[in-house]
């Protein structure tokens, strides 16, 4: 909980422009040389309802939303204020202020739009009393009135940013530049006027008693502010993917949108189809025809993809599917993160799973593992899934632009040319032996692409003979099944021996206490481990990405090296710990779980506390809404 960081929370109603305002403010902080991390909290509705965005900014690296926050800009919910809509939205105009007070740190700043909040509402939330108790510095400002005076009422966000900059003693340069990038003409002029007016008003009318100031820092390389969704989309682009079919579903829609806006320009195709069955089936068809193709969804839509996923497994058609998790079961909590679809993606669809699953834990990993997913899928002719969640999807972080300076890889993997097809094995009737187990290398038989001379064959979801004909011959069945499963062993070997590890490690190598996590909980775990070690504990961590084939060797080595381990994940049934036990068949007595499934991601302090509770070995319960699951058998 360092003082050298700003965690700015802008709160209001959905549809009030909070996203774009916060995006630009985050960029301004980034341009000033700080590292930034943004966190979105929003309801599943288009307008109204309580929503906020947090921006954490510091000179050092920031890997999570942090613990609590120290600056609140409460804009007021304009839709709640509209009397005509009150019946529908309810009287919620106080909420951006009242709903956000619990997590505000001591000494924090509150700016609220007094133009949108009534005095009696303020009395009801005991603001004065609480401010005194917590040493909060409260600045009621008529943001709406200020905006109206110089432009239009909707520009009150700009006034809020001006007030923020003044209170934090920030230079306006970057904020102005970003406004000039985004708008022009009268609108730009009015906004600039409002910005300056707000800035000057604060400086002229208030004495600053608060200590919080914007931190200062410097970047040594060009930066870009990106989300995990951007990273996945760009990983697909650089992997040479040019075809996406999808159906909208939160939070997956972000990736689908980014690629829909880019593929057509690049000569590719994006098609919104009737449902997720069709989405995955179109991708299988396109891939089969020789184009790198993908689809994706969130849990509910991914459930519909089970059949085409199985078809891709059986026909050995490469395809990449993205699964962006949100809280379930069923519709669950559509705009809230959870890591509870792990078993779903590993095992959905009938028969033995023959797929690859990667779970990136941060933005860089999201890019790299999406590319890896395409490489593996096309080399081994196997469906590959990238699983992440609403948290990684929507959080923005600054990344070195140079990170993306890579070669693109449009290569189609294990395919034959027409020349090679002439030499390949055919049956007496001239059918290409596409599934000839005698010709396999690492379980893979190179494929032909429709349109090639001499490459004709039947691909079928039935078990099939070497030329692809339906076969229920027991020997053939065993040969084909073992050949397809051999690919997973070979992929594991390649990942262990030929590529950089996709697992990420933190902390003291010699530590005897370990924290294991996966996916987007990585950032909070990394930060918690750093904090614990600073406090004199000795803890190390591993964030696992290879779910199938499982990172067996690395996780075994990690667990062997510690006396105890805590598995941190956002679900209620400890799915990842279960996977470790299933894959490794031991260590059940070493692992406890720290679980959170209330719809909000872990904060580092909760993990620190989980460690303390675990280690203290007493009956103390951790913070409400975080659960400890004891070791197996307890």
Partner 1 sequence: MSSDVRFTDFKSDKQPTWCPGCGDFGTMNGMMKGLAETGNDPDNTFVVAGIGCSGKIGTYMHSYALHGVHGRALPVGTGVKMARPDIEVMVAGGDGDGYSIGAGHFVHAVRRNVDMSYVVMDNRIYGLTKGQASPTSRSDFETSTTPEGPKQPPVNPLALALASGASFIAQSFASDALRHQEIIEEAIEHDGFGFVNVFSPCVTFNDVDTYDYFRDSLVDLQEEGHDPNDYEAAKEVILDSDKEYQGVMYQDDESVPYHEQHGVTEDMSEIPDGAPEDAMDLVREFY
247-286 residues near partner 1, rule: CB under 8 A:
262, 264-269, 271, 273-275, 277-279, 281-286
Is 420 a residue that touches partner 1 (CB under 8 A)?
Answer: no
Positions 400 through 419 that interact with partner 1 (CB under 8 A): 401, 404-406, 408, 410
Smallest gap, in angstroms, from Cβ of residue 408 to partner 1?
5
561 contacts partner 1 (rule: CB under 8 A): no
CA distance 574 to 629: 8
Site for partner 1 in 312-331 (CB under 8 A): 315
Sole binder of partner 1 in the list 69, 243, 380, 479 (CB under 8 A)? 243
Alpha carbon distance 605, 194 (integer Å): 38
Nearer Cβ to partner 1, position 207 or 222? 222
- Rule CB under 8 A: choose which of 50, 210, 242, 483 binds partner 1: 242
Interface mask (CB under 8 A) for partner 1, residues 338-377, using x and -? Answer: -----------------------------x----------
**Closer of 68 and 454 to partner 1 (Cβ):** 454
Cβ distance 7 to 215 under 8 Å? no
**Count of other CB atoms within 10 angstroms of residue 272:** 13
Sign of CA dihedral 375, 322, 305, 344: positive
Stretch that binds partner 1, among 14-22, 24-32, 198-206, 609-617 (CB under 8 A): 24-32
Please state, in angstroms and rounded to a whole number, the distance separating the CA atoms of residues 64 and 397: 9
Measured from the CB atom, is 147 or 237 closer to partner 1? 237
Least Å from the CB of residue 257 to partner 1: 13
Cα of 12 vs its chain's centroid, Å: 23
d(CA 295, CA 282): 8
Shortest Å distance, C-beta 258 to partner 1: 9
Q: Binding residues for partner 1, how many (CB under 8 A)?
A: 75
Site membership for partner 1, residue 428 (CB under 8 A) = yes
Residue 531 to residue 537: CA distance in whole angstroms? 9
Q: Is 431 in the site for partner 1 (CB under 8 A)?
A: yes
Note whether 222 binds partner 1 by CB under 8 A: yes
Shortest distance, CB of residue 446 to partner 1, whole angstroms? 16
Chain center to CA of 459? 35
Is there binding between residue 170 and partner 1 (CB under 8 A)? no
List Cα–Cα distances, 551 to 196, 420, 488, 492, 612, in angstroms.
55, 35, 12, 8, 28
Closest approach, Cβ 437 to partner 1, in A, equals 20
As to burial, measured by CB atoms within 10 angstroms (0-12 exposed, 13-18 middle, 19+ buried), residue 544 is buried
Determine which residue in the list 31, 326, 487, 531 makes contact with partner 1, applying CB under 8 A. 31
Which of 48, 246, 310, 622 lies at the binding interface for partner 1 (CB under 8 A)? 310
User: Which residues in 590-629 contact partner 1 (CB under 8 A)?
Assistant: none
Helix (H) or strand (E) holding 392: helix 390-394
CB of 347 to partner 1, least distance (A): 18
Closest approach, Cβ 119 to partner 1, in A, equals 42
Contact between 45 and partner 1 per CB under 8 A? no
Show the 3-state SS of 78-104.
HHHHCHHHHHHHCCCCCHHHHCCCCCE
Pull the structure tokens for residue 273: 């189809």
Nearest to 520 by CA among 400, 388, 387: 388
255 phi and psi, to 5 degrees? -65, -45
> How far apart are alpha carbons 453 and 560 in whole angstroms?
54
If the CB atoms of residues 95 and 288 are measured against partner 1, the closer one turns out to be 288
- CA pair distance 51, 566, nearest whole angstrom: 32
Nearest distance in Å: CB 30, partner 1: 8
Question: Among residues 36 and 163, whose Cβ is nearest to partner 1?
Answer: 36
Of residues 63, 70, 100, 287, which one binds partner 1 by CB under 8 A? 287
Binding partner 1 (rule: CB under 8 A), the pick from 10, 237, 342, 357 is 237
Q: Write out the two tokens for 466.
A: 């070497």
Residues between 450 and 509 that touch partner 1 (CB under 8 A):
450-462, 469-470
* Closer CB to partner 1, 243 or 602, in the complex: 243
Residues 6+ apart with CB under 8 A from 29: 6, 36, 55, 57, 174, 214
Strand partners, 297: 323
């Amino acid at each position: 909980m360092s003082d050298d960081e700003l965690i700015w929370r802008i709160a209001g109603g959905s549809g009030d422009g909070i996203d774009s305002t916060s995006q630009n403010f985050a960029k301004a902080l980034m341009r000033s040389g700080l590292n930034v991390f943004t966190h979105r909290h929003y309801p599943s509705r288009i307008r109204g309802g309580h929503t906020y965005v947090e921006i954490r900014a510091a000179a050092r690296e920031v890997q999570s939303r942090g613990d609590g926050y120290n600056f609140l800009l409460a804009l007021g919910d304009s839709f709640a204020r509209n009397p005509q809509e009150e019946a529908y939205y309810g009287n919620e105009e106080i909420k951006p202020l009242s709903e956000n007070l619990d997590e505000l740190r001591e000494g924090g700043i509150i700016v609220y739009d007094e133009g949108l909040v009534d005095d009696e509402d303020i009395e009801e939330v005991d603001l004065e009393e609480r401010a005194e108790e917590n040493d909060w510095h409260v600045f009621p400002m008529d943001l709406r009135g200020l905006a109206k005076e110089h432009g239009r009422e909707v520009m009150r966000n700009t006034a809020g940013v001006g007030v923020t900059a003044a209170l934090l003693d920030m230079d306006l340069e970057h904020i102005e530049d970003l406004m000039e990038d985004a708008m022009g003409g009268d609108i730009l002029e009015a906004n600039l006027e409002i910005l300056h007016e707000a800035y000057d008003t604060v400086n002229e009318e208030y004495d600053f008693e608060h200590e919080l100031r914007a931190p200062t820092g410097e970047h040594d390389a060009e930066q870009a502010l990106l989300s995990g969704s951007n990273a996945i989309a760009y990983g697909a682009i650089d992997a040479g993917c040019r075809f996406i079919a999808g159906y909208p579903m939160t939070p997956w829609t972000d990736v689908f949108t980014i690629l829909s806006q880019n593929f057509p320009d690049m000569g590719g195709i994006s098609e919104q189809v009737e449902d997720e069955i069709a989405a995955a089936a179109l991708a299988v068809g396109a891939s089969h025809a020789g184009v790198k193709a993908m689809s994706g969804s969130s849990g509910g839509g991914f459930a519909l993809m089970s059949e085409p996923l199985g078809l891709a497994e059986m026909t050995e058609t490469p395809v990449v599917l993205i699964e962006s998790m949100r809280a379930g079961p069923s519709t669950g909590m559509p705009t809230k993160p959870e890591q509870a679809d792990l078993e779903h993606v590993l095992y959905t669809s009938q028969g033995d799973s023959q797929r690859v699953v990667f779970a990136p834990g941060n933005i860089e990993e999201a890019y790299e593992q999406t590319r890896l997913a395409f490489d593996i899928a096309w080399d081994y002719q196997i469906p590959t899934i990238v699983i992440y969640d609403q948290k990684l999807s929507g959080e923005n972080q600054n990344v070195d632009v140079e990170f993306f300076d890579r070669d693109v890889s449009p290569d189609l993997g294990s395919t034959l040319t027409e020349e090679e097809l002439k030499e390949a094995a055919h049956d007496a009737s001239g059918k290409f032996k596409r599934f000839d187990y005698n010709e396999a290398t690492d379980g893979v038989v190179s494929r032909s692409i429709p349109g090639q001379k001499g490459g004709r064959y039947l691909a079928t979801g039935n078990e099939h003979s070497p030329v692809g004909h339906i076969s229920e011959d027991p020997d053939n069945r065993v040969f084909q099944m073992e050949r397809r499963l051999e690919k997973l062993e070979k992929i594991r070997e390649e990942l262990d021996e030929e590529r950089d590890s996709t697992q990420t490690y933190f902390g003291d190598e010699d530590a005897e206490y370990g924290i294991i996590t996966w996916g987007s909980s990585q950032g909070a775990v990394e930060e918690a481990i750093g904090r614990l070690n600073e406090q004199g504990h000795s803890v190390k961590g591993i964030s696992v990405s290879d779910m199938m084939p499982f990172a067996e060797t690395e996780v075994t080595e990690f667990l062997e090296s510690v006396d105890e381990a805590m598995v941190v994940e956002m679900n209620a049934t400890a799915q990842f710990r279960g996977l470790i036990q299933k894959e490794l068949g031991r260590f059940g007595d070493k692992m406890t779980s720290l679980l959170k499934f209330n719809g909000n991601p872990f904060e580092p302090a909760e993990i620190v506390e989980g460690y303390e509770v675990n280690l203290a070995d007493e009956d103390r319960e951790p913070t409400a809404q975080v659960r400890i699951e004891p070791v197996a058998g307890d």
